[in-house]
Amino acid sequence: MSAKWSVKTQLPVHYTVFESFDLFNPENNALLFDGQNSSQKSLRRVVVVDDYVERLHGERIRQYFQYYEIEYRLISLSVSEDNKSMDTVFQVIEELNAFEVSRRSEPVIAIGGGVLMDIVGLAANLFRRGIPYIRVPTTLLGVVDAAIGAKTAVNFQGHKNRIGTFYPPLAAILDTTLLQTLSDRQISNGIAEILKIALVKDAELFELLENYGAAILSSKCQNPEAVPIIRRSVQGMLEDLESNLWEEKLERLVDYGHTFCPTLELKAVPKLLHGEAVAVDMAISVMLAYQRSLVTYQEVERIYNFMRSVRLPLLHPICTPELLYAALQSTTKHRNGLQRFPLTVGIGAAQFFHDITYEEIKTAVKAIAQLEPNAAMQTSL
């Protein structure tokens, strides 16, 4: 008889998400976080920065590390969805190798939007089977979503995020003062992900958004009311992630707005940003929920009015029922054969459905098109 061994083990996960403001001020040592309490701090760091952010803050970042007498290498990366690829991951790995980053005590620091953080996270995971890294998001979408989860990914052969890993950072440090330089469109993009959390699990957050969403947009998240809104959103997101970090459960509330969205993001011309595609998906989902008497028309109007107030699109010219149904079928495959379509029940709760039909989608799109005859204009803000 041949021998057989079975190995079973567990991997504890612990990472920290914390706020810290004015991160590049030498009086603030948060950026030196290494997860250890020891006074023997390691004095080497690779810092990878989105090149646009480097132009804005590069000088201060350099001065910061010089102030602490840290041996550092600052890499400025020009990234976008078009070069969110393994080639760029290897480019980062080359730098990590050249700097001979230690395996444990010299966390790589990623400063930028979701694209930059996804690339650096994957590079950190692959280099020497995983070295620690820290995410410093500089977009609103980064703060409320891309920085705080466990995933890394790059695009592959025209498919979004087709290659990726679960590899949580050592920490995500949230500094909303960095958001001041974002365009309005980028702020709206992030608000869409906050709205997602509000609609599926936090009615109070939706009220805050209704009251202060437009002010968040005009102040670029610098108004005092942005603080509780962003905090509630991060909290809501983390609660869902923590209970299902490896996505073993395929019914995920945080997938709300992400059913039609991958196809919309890929195919829409003029292009939709991720949050905008999520917004269009949510607008259709809300109408589907209304058609199933899960939300009232008054609730539909509240949601749509809010979306308009923060300049999020409700529809896009590409949204034919045929395309949306095909998108649903593709997502169903991804969700292991069941639609697992989250629909809101009122505002602040949701349920999953597996039987959404082509006819329902057609009726929903028609209804939104009547409300938004100018939908085609909305994405070219």
Which chain residues interact with ligand NAD by CB under 6 A? 50, 52-53, 80-81, 84, 112-116, 118, 138-139, 141-142, 145-146, 149, 151, 161, 178-179, 181-182, 186, 189, 274
- Closest CB 205 distance from ligand NAD, rounded Å: 18
* 3-class DSSP state of 340: coil
CB nearer ligand NAD, residue 92 or residue 356: 92
User: Could you give the CA distance from residue 141 to residue 143 in angstroms, rounded to a whole number?
Assistant: 6
- Closest CB 299 distance from ligand NAD, rounded Å: 26
The yes-or-no answer on residue 151 being catalytic is yes
Helix, strand counts (H, E) of the chain: 13, 10
Largest CA distance in the chain: 73
Helical pair 114-126 and 86-99, crossing angle rounded to 10 deg:
60
- Closest CB 4 distance from ligand NAD, rounded Å: 38
Q: Which two tokens stand for residue 228?
A: 């509780």
CB nearer ligand NAD, residue 52 or residue 353: 52
- Closest CB 54 distance from ligand NAD, rounded Å: 9
CB nearer ligand NAD, residue 15 or residue 358: 15
User: Could you give the CA distance from residue 232 to residue 144 in angstroms, rounded to a whole number?
Assistant: 10
- Closest CB 160 distance from ligand NAD, rounded Å: 6
Measuring CA to CA, which residue among 163, 361, 160 is closest to residue 266? 160
- Outline where DSSP puts E strands in 204-277: none
- Judge contact between 322 and 362, C-beta under 8 A: no
Q: Closest-CB residue for ligand NAD?
A: 114
| Cis amide linkage into residue 270, ω under 30° from 0 | yes
- Closest CB 78 distance from ligand NAD, rounded Å: 8
CB nearer ligand NAD, residue 53 or residue 347: 53
For residues 177-202, one letter each, b for 16 or more C-beta atoms within 10 angstroms of the residue's C-beta and e for the rest, the string is ebbeebeebbbbbbbbbbbbbbbbbb
User: Could you give the CA distance from residue 325 to residue 276 in angstroms, rounded to a whole number?
Assistant: 19
CB nearer ligand NAD, residue 101 or residue 179: 179
CB nearer ligand NAD, residue 147 or residue 364: 147
Q: Which two tokens stand for residue 184?
A: 């309005």
User: Residue 76: which H helix or E strand, with range?
Assistant: strand 71-77
Kindly name the residue from 8, 41, 84, 151 that is annotated as catalytic.
151
- Judge contact between 162 and 155, C-beta under 8 A: yes
Going by the DSSP 8-state scheme, the letter that residue 178 receives in this structure is G
The catalytic residue positions are 151
